[in-house]
Amino acid sequence: MTYYLKAEKFLLENEEKMGGYLFIKDGKFGSFVSQIPEGATVVDYSGYTIAPGLFDTHIHGIKGHDIMDGEVEAINEISKTLLSLGVTRFLPTTLTSLKDDLDRAIIAIREAVENGLPGAQSEGIFLEGPYFTELHKGAQNSSYFRDPDVEEFQYWQQLADGSIKKIAIAPERQGVFDFIRKVTEEGVLVSIAHTNASFECCKEAVDAGARNYVHLFNGMTGLHHRTPGVVGAALVDDRAFAELICDGFHVHPDVSALALRIKDDKLILITDCMQAGLMPDGNYHLGEFSVVMKDGVAKLESGSLAGSTLKLIDGVKNLQEWSSESLYKIWHLGSLTPAVSLGKDTQLGSISPGKIADYVVLNNQFEVQATAVAGEVKYQK
């Protein structure tokens, strides 16, 4: 499939371009040009913006479906739904749960991917837990918390056919640093989450190979000027990425803008979305927990936040408004930076020659008009 995209604006990897044409060949991006050969096939999106497909590296579910349902159909429905939101890549994300439930979820993800996902494509599994601690448990079931176990992880990795690409742990657990070194060597992104660790403990975890902080400010010790805690460690260490949920509920808008100024291109926009996303207010579940959504905010019966109902494109829009930075810069925090964090930026995350041609067509109201995966338009409004 060979064609040229015509649009008003293009968010390329290193710059914005007005007008012109973008070459697509065999599912990959080619060069951006001002003129095209006579007789070339043109897909005309005049008046619209072409941006790279978004990449949600932390999502539990959406539109009534949950990864922990452990069903191939749930994975497929999440995959299809994400296209309408401009997301072309994602990491299906599990929760701390019974071993049998985790096994079933991993198998369902593997089978869905093997059969071919109909929409957004999985770039691997994110195991959120079960190696956490009690104090900042959030919507994780603490009855299953335990110390990290390499053999247990390798069992899950084998079950996943090697597709686990990210795992979150609390670095104060016993045996963590050896665990980090081992799984990092195997190409897994170790992330810090749901933890009461000290600043020093977090630094030691990053020294061992951890390179990401999950949902910054949430599920962790806060920042104090004498005891910087997990938040302080995340903000000051340039080696590590930090995820941010920009829904205005999990983190105050001005604090989100501050995090952007500090972390810059090491900030990853995520949703942490659960099954209530795109659904009306009411009763839902996140793993084993009952969740009530009111005014779009999902909470446990205890009142704790339970994931989010955020659309990643809205997170981009929110942070762009809160920070007054360019759309070009903020958009890449939801596309390119996630790819960089997983070592996939040579293939994904931005519009650059040779990369997979995942792109989104946006109107002036920031609404998704079309979404393409590997050059094929799979969603059209």
Angstrom distance (rounded) from CA 301 to CA 154: 35
Contact 281, 294 (CB under 8 A): yes
Q: Which of 4, 12, 5, 6 lies closest to 327, judged by CA?
A: 12
Token pair in block for residue 63:
């539109």
Angstrom distance (rounded) from CA 96 to CA 132: 9
If one counts every other C-beta atom within 10 angstroms of the C-beta of residue 223, the result is: 18
Contacts of 241 (CB under 8 A, 6+ apart): 211, 212, 213, 263, 266, 267, 268, 337, 340, 341
Tell me the Ramachandran region of residue 134: left when phi exceeds 0, alpha when psi lies from -120 to 50, beta otherwise.
alpha
Angstrom distance (rounded) from CA 121 to CA 91: 9
Contact 356, 27 (CB under 8 A): yes
Contact 32, 15 (CB under 8 A): no
If one counts every other C-beta atom within 10 angstroms of the C-beta of residue 186, the result is: 12
Contact 190, 169 (CB under 8 A): yes
Contacts of 155 (CB under 8 A, 6+ apart): none
Residues annotated as catalytic (active site), given as ranges: 272
